[in-house]
Amino acid sequence: MLSFGIVIIFGVLAVCVAILLAVSILRKDPGNERMVKISEAIQQGAQAFLMEEYRTMALWVVIFAIIIGFVISPVVSVCFIIGTLFSVLSGYFGMIVATRANSRTTQAAKTSLGGALSIAFSGGAVMGLTVTGLGVLGSVIVYLLTSRFFSHLVDPLVAITGYSIGASFVALFARVGGGIFTKAADVGADLVGKVEAGIPEDDPRNPAVIADNVGDNVGDIAGMGADLYESYVGSIVAGVILGTIVFGLNGAKFVYLIAGYGIVASIIGILFVFLAARIGVSPHNSLNVGTIIANICAVVFSLIISRLIFGNFTLFVPILAGIITGLAIGFITQYYTGGRPIQVIARSSSEGGAATTILSGMAVGMQSTFLPLLFIAIGVVVSYRFAGLYGIALAGIGMLTTLGISLSVDAYGPIADNAGGVAEMSDLPDEVRGNTDVLDALGNTTAAMGKGFAIGSAALTALALFSSYVSTVGITTLDILSPYTIAGIFVGSSLPFLFSALAIMAVSNTAGLMVEEVRRQFREIPGLILGNADPDYKKCIAISTRGALKNMVTPSVIMVASPFVVYLVSGSSGKEALGGLLAGSLISGVILAIYMANAGASWDNSKKFIEQGHYGGKGSEAHRASVVGDTVGDPLKDTAGPSINILIKLIATISLLFGPFLARLF
């Protein structure tokens, strides 16, 4: 049970369980004709956008694959392409199932909250298990094939690095493109529909409402799936590289076994969520029970594997440190985005309007960065003390060990959100919308926890990749007093801000076009605001699509090119300058990502807190102020913030792959 073969079996098991869950979802009742029509419109819009996004991305994939083939090796180029294909497949399959689970969740909510939770969570579990299953399968198969058949042409560690870059490449484009699409539609729908026209969220009279629901899927399902697929693969690759350097084949095997048995732990946790929902446990407690049990199983499995492979429990400690760090970040995020801070923001909305809403949300976001970074710092020190740089990589793997269930919990949120939209647009009874609102509110918290979790894992993974880079280019110590290192740190620290600015501006520009289009339709379509005419939903979907595809390329290409530019400009000191770039982007990127994710989520949940009847409820001055805060926070938490995770890892992975080649030039 301690071989690469069992890892492949567990990867296949994850994919098979995901397929079974998908089939079970499709067998559920999709609802009445109106519900099916709305769901199909969301499906068609999401699929059309992804096809256009993939076509745009394919050109850059081919260009980069050619560069890798000439500079590194054609074998690595093939591995890069495999990484892109597996990443696309994981996000696309998850999105296809999610867009079919929405109306079925709504239909189940007519009779049972637990039944609705089961369907929505099943859709999320399809994503979680697909990502982890394909992530493990792709990585271990590339590693084994290159070790057995192509080791005379390329180092297997270089091959899996190429595979990881493929995953990162797709994730960056998918996160940026999907984030721009979803938030442009969301901002346009809210500003005109809720603020100006005074109609409810997800009202079918709003021309941007279908685009908004499409965005939930292309951004928070397909984009997020590609994002965490990249995190998962990146952590495995960093662990395999550092483990091989220290322990040889056993170091690599340990990493793959931890990932494989983590899949088993996740499946056990997922089954407990279904069991808890079936016996009437609340949605919040059902998800928590499954997550806790999965992590307990992961701890037990890791303890046993460490003992069997290395004869001691030393390497179990970094795994445990990563699991504890991940859980701590999750609960800290839950507090700042669903606890007392959102009530403070809501009170600010009632007392001072939009300005104080924004100020208080910014303060909450800033304050929320300290404790997660403190736990990450403690996790890094503990892991290093027990296993050196390899220990840091193991901590990142530990944090992602139960990604199968943590991503399931995260991906469940957009499905619940869509289910609420289907209920509203289908004019279903209030009790149905009440059930979907319960799931949706919980989904906002789980999504915020998922983003915090992703940021924490990105920090540890990027640090491990940074350590791998230092080892491969032959730097024993990075001199902090070197002007080239300092210059690299300054440039690296600025990159997440530049990237975020471009992403947020893209949302702002596209949202401006969306606002004008929604206003035009309300103005020019007779009877639309009264509900006597149908809006042109496709026009709004087209605006979001064009804006996303047009604006996702520039920030992505700038980030991909930055390691090469810094190294080449620095000449013989390029290794140090690039090391500084990685350090600077890592530190500033993690802080900025946590700030934006938590500030955005706290604005969103404070708005929902007011909508529950506090401080005047819906339609009050406090509510209008909270909508403005939520609108400001949307591109922060769903476009720029999550993309930074990919940014810091992609820069590190590119540096790891091309660093030795660039070092030979100077």
Could you report the per-residue pLDDT of 533-547, keeping only the tens digit for each? 778 888 888 888 888
Q: How far apart are CA 110 and CA 580, in angstroms?
A: 56
Tokens, residue 135: 């992530």
Q: How far apart are CA 99 and CA 540, in angstroms?
A: 19
Please report the pLDDT score of residue 10 as a whole number: 94
What domain range includes position 70? 4-25+32-665
Tokens, residue 230: 């990249």
Asked if 109 and 48 count as a contact pair (C-beta separation under 8 A), the reply is no
Q: Is 52 helix (H, G, I), strand (E, B) or coil?
A: helix
Q: Is 28 helix (H, G, I), strand (E, B) or coil?
A: coil
Q: CA angle 116-282-120, nearest 5°?
A: 25
Counting Cα atoms < 13 Å in the Cβ hemisphere of 168 gives 33
Q: CA angle 358-360-365, nearest 5°?
A: 95
Please report the pLDDT score of residue 218 as a whole number: 78
Please report the pLDDT score of residue 653 as a whole number: 84
Q: Which residues of the chain have pLDDT under 50?
A: none
Please report the pLDDT score of residue 94 as a whole number: 85
Asked if 596 and 365 count as a contact pair (C-beta separation under 8 A), the reply is yes
Please report the pLDDT score of residue 445 as a whole number: 65
Amino acid found at 26: L
Amino acid found at 441: A
* DSSP assignment letter at 326: H
Cβ neighbour number for residue 52 with a 10 Å cutoff? 15
Counting Cα atoms < 13 Å in the Cβ hemisphere of 410 gives 30
Q: How far apart are CA 240 and CA 163, in angstroms?
A: 13
Asked if 49 and 546 count as a contact pair (C-beta separation under 8 A), the reply is no
Q: How far apart are CA 609 and CA 445, in angstroms?
A: 12
Q: How far apart are CA 66 and CA 71, in angstroms?
A: 9
Only one residue has tokens 């870059």, namely: 165
Tokens, residue 4: 């690469």
Please report the pLDDT score of residue 310 as a whole number: 87
Q: Provide DSSP, 533-549.
A: S---HHHHHHHHHHHHH
> 45 CB contacts (<8 Å, ≥6 apart)?
210, 211, 214, 537, 538, 541
Three-class SS string for 97-119? HHHHHHHHHHHHHCCCHHHHHHH
Three-class SS string for 205-251? CCCCHHHHHHHHHHHHHHHHHHHHHHHHHHHHHHHHHHHHHHHCHHH
Tokens, residue 290: 């499954």
Q: How far is CA 478 from CA 110, 568, 575, 666, in A?
A: 61, 18, 9, 18
Please report the pLDDT score of residue 1 as a whole number: 59
Torsion 200-205-207-212 (CA) sign:
positive
Q: How far apart are CA 226 and CA 50, in angstroms?
A: 12
Q: How far apart are CA 218 and CA 52, in angstroms?
A: 12
Q: How far is it between the farthest Cα atoms of the chain?
A: 77
Amino acid found at 630: D
What is the helix (H) or strand (E) element at residue 553, kind and residue range?
Answer: helix 553-570
Q: If we measure between CA atoms, which residue out of 504, 548, 550, 518 comes closest to residue 210?
A: 518
Only one residue has tokens 């399931």, namely: 408
Cβ neighbour number for residue 13 with a 10 Å cutoff? 16
Nearest-Å Rg of the Cα atoms of the chain is 24
When divided into structural domains, the chain yields a total of 1
Helix 156-188 and helix 483-524: axis angle, to 10°? 40
